[in-house]
Amino acid sequence: MFFSPDFIGTGNRVVETLCLLVSAGILSLAVSRARNLVRTEARAQAARENLARYVSPNLVERLAAAAEPFGSVRRQEAAILFVDVVGFTRFAERNEPEAVIAFLREFHSRMAQAVFAHEGTLDDYIGDEVMAVFGTPEPRADDAVRALACAQTMRRAMARWNEERASLALPAVRVGIGLHVGTVVTGSTGSSDRLKFAVVGDAVNVASRLQAATRELGCEMVVSQDAMHAAHEDLSAGMVRNVSLRGHVAAIPVMVFESQDASHSSASN
């Protein structure tokens, strides 16, 4: 019967058909899962890229990977850097809002590039002011070295920008930079709906006031002696001064850095 040319083994055909359907189903499921995995990864990558527009790149993966990425509040050493534009208030008064926003975008972009190039954390934009932290989310032995290098990169970036502005007959932009190293407290602040990673402490206040002191001293950058020592820099060859800061009884020894171009005028001119 099996060798008959007219014999049709329906049982075998059914088994073969079922095997084919099962194999096709498994293959279809595998392809579908692979496509979903690619879509999920693409969405996750897009989410990380969007998140990187609002927080520092060195925090993105940590934020994306953990439900509580920064853990509990902790005390640590960090280098704090502040930079802002001299005369920005007057500049904002004299120009249209669109021009002010365009100016801020250019300024913030250049400062952010310097921070990220030295693996710092861009903590916040406060008007024209930029606050950067070196030592978060994890402290490193070279935090002060990278912070000082970042400050110098910012100065060079401003010098190049002023050259571009001069070619367009635009006034030069002056900045004030303050840098300090000290103990800070880090952790998440805000509500359960919107959290912000914060760095607070007297070291932050000192760095901010050193930045403000650049106006009184007529210089471009003021770095505390603590920051210079932490960065293994020699103070003997520089301009060392004692600066009195609000909230501190004793004056703080600092290194003063003059503007790279004494002819630079404020953005408000």
Tens of pLDDT, residue by residue, the chain (269 residues):
667 666 666 666 677 788 888 888 899 888 888 888 777 766 666 555 554 554 566 666 665 555 555 556 789 999 999 999 999 999 999 999 999 999 999 999 999 999 999 989 888 888 899 999 999 878 899 999 999 999 999 999 999 999 999 999 999 999 999 999 999 998 777 666 666 778 899 999 999 999 999 999 899 999 999 999 999 987 765 678 888 888 788 888 999 998 765 444 445 44
Do you know the residue count of the chain?
269
- Pick the closest to residue 256 from 143, 178, 159 (CA basis): 178
Residue 60, in any domain of the structure: no
Residue 61, in any domain of the structure: no
Do 74 and 194 lie in one domain? The reply is yes
Do 80 and 44 lie in one domain? The reply is no
What pLDDT is stored for residue 264 in this prediction?
A: 44
- How many C-beta atoms surround the C-beta of residue 256 within 10 A? 18
Here the CATH number for the domain that contains residue 239 is: 3.30.70.1230
Do 41 and 124 lie in one domain? The reply is no
Residue 10, in any domain of the structure: yes
Q: Name the residue with tokens 């190049």.
A: 160
Give the pair of three-digit tokens for residue 151: 């400050």
CB 143 within 8 A of CB 79: yes
The pTM for the full model equals 0.74
Do 34 and 151 lie in one domain? The reply is no
Give the pair of three-digit tokens for residue 142: 């070279």
Dist CA 122 CA 105 (whole Å) = 15
Do 188 and 87 lie in one domain? The reply is yes
Do 166 and 126 lie in one domain? The reply is yes
Residue 268, in any domain of the structure: no
Residue 97, in any domain of the structure: yes
- How many C-beta atoms surround the C-beta of residue 45 within 10 A? 11
- What is the distance, to the nearest Å, from the Cα of residue 161 to the centroid of all Cα atoms in its chain? 20
Enclosing H/E stretch for 58? helix 57-65
Do 195 and 81 lie in one domain? The reply is yes
Do 7 and 95 lie in one domain? The reply is no
Residue 199, in any domain of the structure: yes
Do 74 and 195 lie in one domain? The reply is yes
Do 2 and 91 lie in one domain? The reply is no
Do 30 and 85 lie in one domain? The reply is no
Residue 131, in any domain of the structure: yes
Do 32 and 165 lie in one domain? The reply is no
How many structural domains compose the chain?
2
List residues bridging with 257 in a β-sheet: 221
**Residues sharing a CB contact under 8 Å with residue 135, sequence separation 6 or more, in sequence order:** 76, 77, 78, 79, 143, 184
What pLDDT is stored for residue 66 in this prediction?
A: 55
- Pick the closest to residue 231 from 176, 177, 181 (CA basis): 181
Residue 265, in any domain of the structure: no
| C-alpha dist (Å) from residue 168 to 33, 100, 158, 162, 164 | 55, 17, 15, 10, 7
Which residues form the domain of 13?
Answer: 1-53
State the helix-helix crossing angle for 143-167 and 97-117, rounded to 10 degrees: 140
